Structure 1
């Protein structure tokens, strides 16, 4: 039997549906466009194009990987976030749609400022810092991660997006990675830290457990890293600066309490697309 682009997509989408994959047709298309080295739109234009035996075998292999639990982004090596595609490896957390809200709320906080400096803690792929850098061309950015492998991915994304001169990367544990002259510098600090409680990790889906443990595990109650970030934020924020955090759906009150104890006067909460509290903006009086 000769498979065309159209017939193999139809069969693969049905197969994925039977195996319980969400967005079965989309995943089938993304995997095939990856194998063919083309854009998704081209699949529709080339609907009747026959596939070679080599292409079919390669497609079968990535289907096998996907059904074994390997995330799509780790197979294709990329993930869309806001307006940009980011290079992704198993060394970094895969950017989520909810994290786009974190970027959007950060942008709202600086909409009236001509220039400034922003620090991202736990940059991973660099998706947050680099997206902000696209939107804020007059700002400078620093991005920290404890993982050398993650920093290599983030640096590669900065190079690919022509932002390497505007984003500086530091390796180390949160604020300890930064030189002393960075204190009291930042207009804002932004972070999507690990916030899943340790005991929940084993029960996560096989796909999520493929992601780096250090980017998921937030300690016994999931707020260990969040508290560390909040408690030292004032050392690095300029007067009137803000802290923007993504957090677990049941962690807002811990974030609020910790932030108020640290000296923040206002803590605003924003919901994710499912209606759960997901982003907190901590502000201090000017």
Structure 2
């Protein structure tokens, strides 16, 4: 990319690079603004909007050009700026953890609604990722304590960092575990088990956008031949560790709700229901242990 000199204003940059990013991003202007915020020393978006005629210094423009090149090559903006907002909270992210998405917020919102009036709620989140689910529940459920499992070290490291920055580290125990392996020999029960497991069909992995398949962790995306492997394994294993009338809660792929409901029904869950996301897609499946 040609350096156009240090005379480009914030407005010039937004106009030019929003157009350049149109093929790569569904939110090109937002991406450019986030990269500008980073380039200008982590200023807020209000600063960007109030200073559209401000010219970047040569150093600021060099930083921006490096970041925008990364974005144009497919690297997700969240990894570039090392941040993503979720449920009104700020999360540090880096490669090795799944980037939090708005699709997951309905799952968290439904669990908050189900648990808000209960005392001493004990919740297990399988698949820490950035800690988005775990930390949001800890933040918005005053009487909850949480355990967060992940098989990989990076999510546990990132989750702990985010718990500290959101002031909920005292409510969460992060544990390295392959599904329930860490508690197989323990006498422990939870009120809620929640998971946003890998659910992309193996064949569909190759069709994902470059910024997903080439950057986000494969083992946080691929869910077996039909995408349902983790739902089967978690649902089967959950019975031993859920209290009577305990809640099993999932995020599911856009066309998987019916199959996941059937898996839960076949494993003895009752009062199973789904919730839609903002696009009207059945994105959440909830069931109760008999």
**TM-score, scaled relative to structure 1:** 0.95
Q: Is the 8 A contact 1:170 1:178 kept in 2?
A: no
Aligned residue runs from structure 1 range 72-221, under 5 A: 72-178=77-183, 180-181=185-186, 183=188, 185-209=189-213, 210-221=215-226
- TM-superposed CA distance for 1:20, in Å, is 5.1
Contact 1:93 1:125 in 2 (8 A): yes
Q: Quick one: distance in 2 between partners of 1:180 and 1:103?
A: 29
Whole-angstrom distance in 2 between the partners of 1:245 and 1:189: 9
More displaced stretch, 174-183 vs 50-59: 174-183
Match of 1:22 among 26, 29, 39: 26
- Residues 51-90 of structure 1: matches in 2 within 5 Å? 51-90=56-95
How many residues are matched? 283
Q: Secondary structure at the match of 1:174?
A: coil
Which moved further from structure 2: 46-55 or 197-206? 46-55
* Per-residue deviation, 1:250: 2.0
Deviation at 1:45, TM superposition (A): 2.2
Q: Are 1:35 and 2:39 an aligned pair?
A: yes
Cα distance between partner residues in 2 of 1:249 and 1:79? 22
* 1:22-73 deviation digits (Å, cap 9, x = unpaired): 2221111111001112111111222222211111111111111101110010
Other-structure match for 1:274: 279
Tell me how far 1:179 sits from its aligned partner. 6.2
- Is residue 260–residue 266 contact of structure 1 (8 Å, CA) maintained in 2? no
- The aligned residue for residue 50 of structure 2 is 45
Match of 1:243 among 239, 248, 258: 248
SS at match of 2:247: strand
Please state if 1:13 is matched with 2:18. Answer: yes
In 2, Cα distance between the equivalents of 1:10 and 1:249?
A: 34
Unaligned stretches of 5+ residues in structure 1: none
Q: CA deviation at 1:114?
A: 2.3
Do 2:24 and 2:74's aligned partners in 1 also have CA atoms closer than 8 Å?
Answer: no
The Cα shift of 1:253 comes to 2.4
CA–CA separation in structure 2 for the residues paired with 1:252 and 1:82: 23
Give the distance between the partners of 1:35 and 1:247, measured in 2 at CA.
Answer: 36
CA distance in 1: counterparts of 2:245 and 2:25, whole angstroms: 46
CA separation of 1:160/1:182 partners in 2, compared to 1, >3 Å: closer, same or farther? farther
What is the CA deviation profile of residues 78-108 of structure 1, one whole-angstrom value per residue up to 9, with x for unaligned ones?
1000111100011100111010001011112
> Displacement, 1:6?
2.3
Unaligned 5+ runs, structure 2: none
| C-alpha deviation, 1:118, in angstroms | 0.5
Which deviates the most, 41-50 or 23-32?
A: 41-50
1:92 and 1:21 map into 2 onto residues whose CA distance is 20
Structure 1 residues 195 and 182: alpha-carbon distance in aligned structure 2, compared to 1, 3 A threshold: farther
| Contact 1:31/1:59 (<8 A) preserved | yes
